[in-house]
A and B are shown apart, each in its own frame.
Chain A
């Protein structure tokens, strides 16, 4: 058990290191750099910038040094907790992210909970009442949820939200709370707004997990151990919850990290469409402006979330499944 745990931790660290390399070089990949996009913006605005100013700026930002030097400098600083400087915002990356990152976490976490709270019970219902009217309805809803592009879904929900609940539906807060400090009222206001992005981000994953739950449970329901438990006199409900549902939860838990990555990769576009004050719009802008350290840090944080999610799901699986925790016949 301990051995397995240590191995998973080591694997997570290796994964994160590799991701940092990939992230850094991916951001380097598009032609030009921050200075180029800065200059082209300025000249479009009518300013004149000399060649000297440009190279002076490059060397100030360290952009004239080779790629690997910059990478190691970046990573070295990261390890010390320094995420670098956002050229676009002219503030440290950590400052820029501090306001918005918590909202991203809240959004991702709420969506994750929403996904499982809906998918697990509905999947159980669907399997136990296979081919019933309810099962067919859930199946159709599931396919629609899987097929609908998120930005279209977001627009539809915004429209409906506007129709039913009035004015402010975009964003996460009503205007009066936007810059207010955190309070109970602000929290409630957020809850009134967060359902739209949560539904948009969570529906496809919910549909997918629901299908998984249904399929696995249908398989488990005919297993010998279920019949044996029934033959011992257990009631249907107790039996269902104790044995096949427990078994069917395993593949659901195993995809926790994957589910999280799904949510996180959908978040920026949805954030942009719904103009959320989270990191989504920030991330897209930083990529467009080639604001390297900001973009790199955010990719790394997103990936770290997924790696941590996967790690947690591995641990949960170990706790839930003795076949993983304890080896087989010795």
Chain B
């Protein structure tokens, strides 16, 4: 892959600050997002997906702090990225990026809009803020956007209030708002989790269409591996704040290398499984709390392949399996016959 990533996380670590103590929430997160590609960030609830997403836009609440790492953002592919991690979280620079070059969609479409302002007002606001367009221009842009995301009668819809929209419509409006300034990167934090199954499919379709039309890169956060196959080009698997494996969709789906990834994939229901009456295998044990992070590999207490003396002592280093496939694990399924050095 020769194109430079537009966003590159380098050893990003976020900690929870309690008085003067720090508790790790995410550790050494490495991630590259390339222009026009969809990166899925997958992991169980509480593993740090939303924290990572908020850190990218410096939206962390004050008790969560970036303790290490870089967030290198290069919207224009200029080769001289800016480090978002070094910006002031309330400053002008980060505000010029938010909503303009990096936009975000949240899980809760019901509460992502203020109930006291019209949908149109809240989308226009973003456009007027970042693109010196007049009120009239902004309005017609909004009407166009609402139409694109599939909201019927957009000329009327701009003047409607959020409470007269259904959840699905609000999420469409949210997508319109996020795309209003044609951002280089869109962060979608579980955008369909709160919706009905049929609506979920519709929203995913809208996102896919928009993605191919605008060519926006997307960081797609989900804990649903089924959605990943449908939406993403690349996948990163997170466990207790660390990316334990990442690669292209095919690499992760067809050739998972980390025991946790393998377990996750086994837990996904498949049509064939149902016919064969095969049981789904839940991952045994449960995720330890932030305050009880195991020594060594955080997955070791639950891992079938865990090697005492090694896994419970050292943090496994990242190994590269192909140009795009990385895994952090001591266990090696097929010994490094195809060691790839780039």
Contact = CB atoms under 8 A, between A and B. Distances in A.
The residue in A224, A236, A321, A329 that gathers the most chain B C-beta atoms within 10 A of its C-beta is A224
A141 B74 CA distance: 51
A234 B97 CA distance: 11
Q: How big is chain B's contact interface, by range?
A: 20 to 34
Interface in B291-305: none
Contact of B166 (A246, A322, A329): A329
A228 B162 CA distance: 14
A227 B53 CA distance: 13
A326 interface: yes
Contacts of B130: 233
Nearest to A322: B161
Contacts of B166: 329
B126 to A, nearest CB: 5
Interface stretch (B9-17, B103-111, B132-140, B196-204): B103-111
Given A227-B59, A329-B164, A329-B166, A233 B98 contact: yes
A68 interface: no
Interface string A177-210: 0000000000000000000000000000000000
A229 interface: yes
A10 B90 CA distance: 51
A224 B103 CA distance: 15
B126 A225 contact: no
A65 interface: no
Interface string B119-152: 0001001100110000000000000000000000
Contacts of A320: 116
B123 to A, nearest CB: 9
Interface in A201-245: 223-225, 227-236, 242-243
A235 B95 contact: yes
Contacts of A321: 115-116
A232 B99 contact: yes
A323 interface: yes
Given A229-B114, A234-B125, 10 more contacts: A225-B115, A230-B59, A231-B57, A232-B125, A233-B95, A233-B96, A233-B129, A322-B116, A326-B161, A329-B165
Interface of A: 223-225, 227-236, 242-243, 246-247, 320-323, 326-330
17 contacts: A224-B108, A225-B112, A227-B59, A228-B112, A228-B177, A229-B122, A232-B125, A233-B99, A233-B130, A234-B95, A246-B116, A247-B115, A247-B116, A323-B161, A323-B163, A327-B164, A329-B165
